[in-house]
Structure 1
Amino acid sequence: MKLVSYEQQGKPHFGAIVGDRVIDLTLWSAECAKADSSVLELPVKIEDFFEEIDRLQASLKAVVGAFAASGKKGARASKPLSEVKLLAPIRRPPKTICVARNYAEHAKEAGLEISPIPILFARFSTTFVANGDPVYVPTVSDDLDWEGELAVIIGKNTNGKRLTRDEAMDYVFGYSIFNDVTVRDYQFRVTQYTAGKNFRASGPFGPVIVTADEIADPHKLDIKTTLNDEQMQFANTDTMIYDIPTILENISEFVDLEAGDVIPTGTPAGVGFKRKPPIFLKDGDTITVEIPGIGSLSNPVIKEGKD
């Protein structure tokens, strides 16, 4: 399944993409529940779905499957994708925990050591940017850089459990794309990454969540980042230093994972600040991250305050 949040009458709605249409899962699940009492109505917001994922996940699968089989009968509960404004898939996840320096070539280009354990930092959901919406070059810095990444979406609460590698993948709900846009001078002013990683409108995320059953192996995915159609980054997730089970095992040592958590897994080599000369995002640019099987996340770049 490909799940989305989309705008309807100025508010976020929970949807799924089937073919070239976006289903209103709240409306369509209500229709399905009339014909099948085992189907539960789905909430308006995806965040509420993750709050009750254990109770609602079977109904989600049934509802999407019913729409796919319905043909024209389901059309009134959907819109053409071309007419829908997609939002960040989860606008307010419980947590966003990012992994730094997870590709050896990226650590090498940055002149930094490979850590013996995953390096983690937090992102705030207020920084999220939907596909097609602008990333801002802040007024206080011109050192705005890109970092294309695979994002893991958590689907089960650990509830105090420390995961082992063998069970970690059972907690993965799906995958998305994240662009960990970074203000480099703020990142390196101190040893903590927080400021440089949390500027306004600096976290492109989306456009969809693809459920784990549709990704044969998340450790065999190409990641490509292009700046104005020129390739900047290209790598495969099989070159990550820490695979997804290791990352989730490590995080669960100290904090509970919750359904709906977003875990960007690190960026490959090819960022701008280590190029000679350095390249930074500027007003008028377009930055795009692509992962086959998930899609393309593309954002214009504008100077803060220009819009």
Structure 2
Amino acid sequence: MKLATLRDGSRDGKLVVVRRDGQVHADAGAIAPNLQAALDDWERVAPALEALAAKLESGEIAGSPLDPAMLESPLPRAYEWVDGSAFLNHVILVRKARGAEPPATLTTDPLVYQGGSSRFLAPRDPIPLADESWGLDFESEVAVVLGDVPQGVKAEDAGRYVRLLLLANDVTLRNLIPNELAKGFGFFQSKPATAFSPFAITPDELGDAWKDGRVHLPLHTNYNGALAGDPDAAEMHFSFFQLLEHVAKTRSYTAGTILGSGTVSNADRARGISCLAERRMIETIEQGKPITPFMKIGDTVEIEMRDAEGRNLFGTIAQKVVAL
């Protein structure tokens, strides 16, 4: 099942079901007014949404043409946005970029931060930038939307709490990070609003590509019209199930919490990059200094994931940098 949120003038938008080809949608307002409401009552609501999706797919109902420009992120705001850094190649490269060693617990203890979630960017919203010297970067990620999660859940039981999957552009202001982290209190100004993919999908939509709490498909990022990278999301060291066990150690989570994978990254450099910081670090290693600048006004980024048949599973995050 593929779900989306139409702009309707409200904070949380209007929930719609989308045909698998992403071209047509059906109003789901009679079932749940918005995605958060659906997640709050998932056991009752999900079967009705599935039935509506089946009717749309079979042609029993015609639906309406879908205009991607009218879509919000599936959750325009969320109770929590918790982002991991589960791809170790990314951790190693980005730590080197700012002169820091990877933590001693790199392979055993996940890195996690809590992002702002009061307002997300829509998948086609521009990225506002007040100062190019701040070092704007995109970060292409996979994420899951959770149901109600009890404290202390274990990885082997975590799958039951994953409701939906989606993609993210976890925008970062790289040049603001060092001074923030030097305070010993984490990211804040360096992490502006994140954008999410047009569609959130149920795990069954991925078929065999969803296993062991990982998505076994490449994540494509185009930067200024050229392929920047297509790393395989399966190279996730900590699975979503392991990340969920980690973050639930000391607290529970409410339905609608989003949990991110961190920037998708592969050790094989031929697979390219999902953020400019990695490219700059590779340039430093190979050429002695970074060559690629961070994003400028007018730059564009597109993020999407296709299955083995070429279907665009989540729709495309397509953003342009604009002056604030």
Q: Tell me the distance in 2 between the aligned counterparts of 1:231 and 1:108.
A: 23
Which residue in the other structure is 2:162 paired with? 172
Q: Hey, what does 1:47 align to over in structure 2? A: 36
Q: Distance in 2 between matches of 1:140 and 1:105?
A: 27
1:140 CA drift (Å): 7.5
Question: Which of the numbers 195, 207, 212 marks the counterpart of 2:188?
Answer: 195
Give the deviation of 1:46 after TM superposition: 1.2
**Residue 88 of structure 1: aligned partner:** 73
Report the Cα distance in structure 1 between the residues aligned to 2:69 and 2:88, rounded to whole angstroms.
39
For 1:55, give the aligned amino acid: R
User: In 2 relative to 1, CA 255–282 (structure 1 residues): closer, same or farther, beyond 3 Å?
Assistant: same
Q: Assess if the C-alpha contact under 8 Å between 2:39 and 2:255 holds in 1.
A: yes
Q: Secondary structure at the match of 1:273?
A: helix
* Structure 2, gaps ≥5 residues long: 266-272, 281-289, 307-312
| C-alpha separation in 2, matches of 1:83 and 1:296 | 9
> Residue by residue, what CA displacement relative to the aligned partner does 1:64-117 show, whole Å, maximum 9, x if unpaired?
22333453xx33xx42013760101011222110013x2222123221415231
Higher strand proportion: 1
1:145-164 map, 5 Å: 145-154=137-146, 156-160=147-151, 162-164=152-154
TM-score normalized by structure 1? 0.84
Match of 2:303 in 1: 289
**Cα 1:247/1:119, change in 2 over 3 Å:** same
**Once the two structures are superposed, what CA deviation does each residue of 1:13-60 show, in whole Å capped at 9, x if it has no partner?**
10011252111111xxxxxxxxxxxxxx41211111111112212222
- 2:261 maps to which residue? 265
SS in 2 for 1:263: strand
Identical counterparts, % of pairs: 21
* Distance change in 2, residues 1:108/1:231 (3 Å): farther
C-alpha distance in 1, partners of 2:187/2:131? 18
**How do 1:1-307 residues align onto structure 2 when only pairs under 5 Å count?**
1-8=1-8, 12-18=13-19, 19=21, 20-26=23-29, 41-71=30-60, 74-75=61-62, 78-82=63-67, 85-100=70-85, 102-110=86-94, 111=96, 112-113=101-102, 115=106, 116-139=108-131, 141-154=133-146, 156-160=147-151, 162-191=152-181, 192-199=185-192, 202-216=193-207, 217=210, 218-269=214-265, 270=273, 271-274=275-278, 275=280, 276-292=290-306, 293-304=313-324
Cα offset for 1:190? 2.5
Partner Cα separation in structure 1 for residue 291 and residue 120 of structure 2? 29
Q: Which amino acid aligns with 2:115?
A: R
The answer to whether the 8 Å contact 2:36/2:75 transfers is: yes
Q: CA–CA distance in 1 between the matches of 2:190 and 2:74? A: 20
Distance 1:109 1:198, change over 3 A: closer
| Cα gap change, 1:195 to 1:278, in 2 (>3 Å) | farther
Change in Cα spacing, 1:236 to 1:25, as seen in structure 2 (3 Å) is same
Q: How far off its partner does 1:279 sit?
A: 2.2
Contact persistence 2:77–2:119 (CA under 8 A): no
Which amino acid in structure 2 is aligned with residue 157 of structure 1?
D
Paired with 1:298 and 1:187, the residues of 2 have a C-alpha distance of 25
**How many angstroms apart in 1 are the aligned matches of 2:55 and 2:304?**
30
